[in-house]
Structure 1
Amino acid sequence: MFSAAGACFLRAWIARRIGTIRDAARDIECGNLGRRLPVSGDSGQFTRLNQDLNRMLDKVEQGMDGARHVSNTIAHSLRTPLGRIRAHLDETLHARSDVAALTAAGELAVQEIDSLVALLDKLLQMAETESGARRQTFEPVAMRDMVASVVERYQHAAHEMAVALVMEIEGNPSIRGDRQLLESVLTDLLDNALKYAGHPTAIGVYAAQRNDEVILLVHDDGLGIPAQERTNVLQRFYRLNHKQQGNGIGLSTVAAIVSLHGGTLHLEDAAPGLLVRMVFPGCTGVD
């Protein structure tokens, strides 16, 4: 009799726990992404299951919030330049402009559209990065070869601006990751240093393996970023100087890619200039 009563009690207890999970699932299905499963103080299987499900729901809610933010900012970012293109073309057409004026208007429209395409490419890259999908294709990346390739592409532009672009690699550092994304990190940082650092005279890139970590540094001797703004500039669409061209997503994309690779990113004072310090988990197996 006692065993039968115990079995009934256990069955009812399990049914209640499962019912709680089903109720939460229905609530979430109806759009309440903030709903979470109750977690008791014990360490039983149901408690661990609820904790796992809550962590999963946190990720889902974070992803949905990110998607809404991206869609809103895309709409805002597209509206202004598209309105500017239309207004300029409309003004040119109604003024019965000559061929030279029409050509200039067309060239301006092409430049604006190219900027929009670049913005959309960046946003798509950020969305793909934050989804974590690219992590499945990670493989060992030799930092020496990757850094040298990117720095070489920027040598001409740096020379034209009378900027010394130097590179120093210690040993053969390597990390497990996506080479294309890692190249875009270095590309964005060198772009920023050349365009927004306030006419620096030198830009340096340094990489080295330190025990189980790989350090990647990019520094310049330009204007730097005020300490109180270093967290803000990592936010999507935040612009330090609205008088300069740009869309404010370069550093936020860099931060997302570094995070995807399990790394950390810090903006520091190079005295003078800016030092971007990135630390990644190292790996072996790359010559």
Structure 2
Amino acid sequence: MMPFLRNHWRSISFRLTLNYGILAILTTLILIAFLYYEVIGALRTEYTRQITASAKRLSAAYEEGGRTALAAALELTLADRIDSGREIYLLLDEKGNKIAGNLDRPPAAHDSYVGVFEGEVLQDGIPTRGHLQIQTLAGGETLVVGHDLSEMGDISAMIWQAIVAAFVLAALLVIIGTYIFRGELAYRVSHIRRTTQQIAAGQLSKRVSTAESDDEFALLNRDINSMLDRIELLMKSARHISDTIAHNLRTPLTRIVGGLRAAQQPSASPQQVLQANQRAVEEIERLSVMLEKLLQISEMQAGIQRRSFKACELHTIVGDVVEMYTTLAEDKNVSMTLTHSEPVNVHGDANLLASALANLVDNAVKYASREIRVAVFRSGQSGRVVISDDGPGVPADQYEHLGKHFYRLDPSLEGHGLGLTSVLSIVELHGGTIVFSDAQPGLSVILTLPVNSRG
């Protein structure tokens, strides 16, 4: 039995339901106890009222007709058989002898009681407990008026039976409800556990089954599936990046090793050795630049550089970048125009934002035929920078690939394919977005950043 209970006690759903059920039982018992004391109190008040009223009525009869009238009133009251079995009456003369009533004798030490009290009396030879009032009449007679407690005892017994029955029923319902709730929760959680176990075993494509409802578990399952989709995408991206890095490292390293081995040949001249060393140095420097960019991108994606954020003037950064690249554009017979500059304040790193904008403008200068247009303005709670050129543009089906690690639209051009990746990482670090569109002709890049709420 103990292992059985221990196994269930380990279940959080079992403990939660059990604790909730115990709380419900205690609340019910407190409510019943409150009702019990309220009912008993109401009965005591009603008995006191009835006893006081009867005592006044009998005292009035005594005042009108004396002892004889009072005795007749008592006999008449006991003869009407209306609660006569529970009513208590006794009339004693000045010497303590019984004149009328249904008591054998008054309670002990009755002279010391004042008002309505609870006491023991002897009725038809049977000890009885009741609410009593004793008063001394003008002629020295003693009048006892009361009501026995049998009715109150019956009501108390009935209430206690209800309490016990409610407790037993509540306990059964709690036990049954605990097992039902535990089973239901275990059933709903089992889908999640089964999926996580399959994923832990390497089946990353597995997903938690979702229902059409919008209850808490359905929403949780959808959130878990969204998280798993994101994890799978990141895993595929990481795998692709690692494969691409391996490829980009293998090729230059192969060239370096081949050149150095050729320089080691006895027939190699000093000039050939020097050239091999120079090419090896250039290749290593290019690899160093690539690895440095990858490290910078990973740091931005991890959010490490967010700690240096402060208020920045986006329009000033854009103006400085445009001014810096105007001369380079003119050398290629391309005009660069800042068509609109509206004050926009953002929260971020000015150097990173300048680097991202410089990368975008540099690409526009590379591909533009005659004109580059740049604009910065505020739209609602966002600041936007639009960079458009009139170059050959990019096919619409390639937009989704722009910004991927090592992706190059034209592999024949120099570079590692990390420029736009760095730009996207900077923009995501600042909580912004980039959208590519057809400028007809050319490419239009729309960079959107949230404005500084304090500026």
- Normalising by the residue count of structure 2, what TM-score does the alignment of the two structures yield? 0.54
**Partner Cα separation in structure 2 for residue 223 and residue 197 of structure 1:** 7
**Partner Cα separation in structure 2 for residue 36 and residue 229 of structure 1:** 29
1:224 to 386, 393, 397: 393
**Cα pair distance change 1:242/1:38, threshold 3 Å:** closer
RMSD: 3.1
Greater RCO structure (CA 8 Å; 6+ sep): 1
2:191 to 1, 4, 20: 20
Q: Which amino acid aligns with 2:447?
A: M
**Partner Cα separation in structure 2 for residue 162 and residue 106 of structure 1:** 38
The answer for unaligned runs of 5 or more in structure 2 is: 1-171
Report how far residue 276 of structure 1 moved: 1.8
- Normalising by the residue count of structure 1, what TM-score does the alignment of the two structures yield? 0.81
Report how far residue 82 of structure 1 moved: 1.6
Per-residue CA deviations over 1:29-64 (Å, capped at 9, x if unaligned) read: 222222322222333222222222222222222222
Q: Which one is further off, 167-176 or 74-83?
A: 167-176
Q: Which one is further off, 272-281 or 72-81?
A: 272-281
**Partner Cα separation in structure 1 for residue 336 and residue 285 of structure 2:** 27
Larger Rg: 2
Q: Is the 8 A contact 1:63 1:131 kept in 2?
A: no
**Partner Cα separation in structure 2 for residue 12 and residue 103 of structure 1:** 77
**Cα pair distance change 1:192/1:102, threshold 3 Å:** farther
Per-residue CA deviations over 1:40-97 (Å, capped at 9, x if unaligned) read: 2333222222222222222222222221111111001111122122223333443422
Is 1:268 the counterpart of 2:437 in the alignment?
yes
Q: What's the counterpart of residue 208 of structure 1?
A: 377
Q: What's the counterpart of residue 197 of structure 1?
A: 367
Q: Which one is further off, 228-237 or 26-35?
A: 228-237
Is 1:56 the counterpart of 2:227 in the alignment?
yes
Is 1:77 the counterpart of 2:248 in the alignment?
yes
**Partner Cα separation in structure 2 for residue 57 and residue 121 of structure 1:** 30
Aligned residues: 283
- Identical-residue share of aligned pairs (%): 35
Q: Which amino acid aligns with 2:419?
A: G
Q: Is the 8 A contact 1:126 1:253 kept in 2?
A: yes
**Cα pair distance change 1:168/1:103, threshold 3 Å:** farther
Q: What's the counterpart of residue 241 of structure 1?
A: 410
Q: What's the counterpart of residue 101 of structure 2?
A: none
Q: Which amino acid aligns with 1:143?
A: L
Per-residue CA deviations over 1:235-264 (Å, capped at 9, x if unaligned) read: 433323232212223234434443454444
1:172 to 343, 349, 355: 343
Is 1:114 the counterpart of 2:285 in the alignment?
yes
Q: What's the counterpart of residue 97 of structure 1?
A: 269
SS at match of 1:187: helix
Report how far residue 19 of structure 1 moved: 3.3
Report how far residue 201 of structure 1 moved: 4.5
Q: Which amino acid aligns with 2:409?
A: L
Report how far residue 202 of structure 1 moved: 4.2
1:123 to 268, 282, 294: 294
Per-residue CA deviations over 1:203-257 (Å, capped at 9, x if unaligned) read: 4432111222322122334443345544444443332323221222323443444
**Cα pair distance change 1:7/1:240, threshold 3 Å:** closer
Q: Which amino acid aligns with 2:249?
A: L
**Cα pair distance change 1:172/1:61, threshold 3 Å:** same
**Partner Cα separation in structure 2 for residue 143 and residue 216 of structure 1:** 9
Q: Which amino acid aligns with 1:285?
A: R
Q: What's the counterpart of residue 33 of structure 1?
A: 204
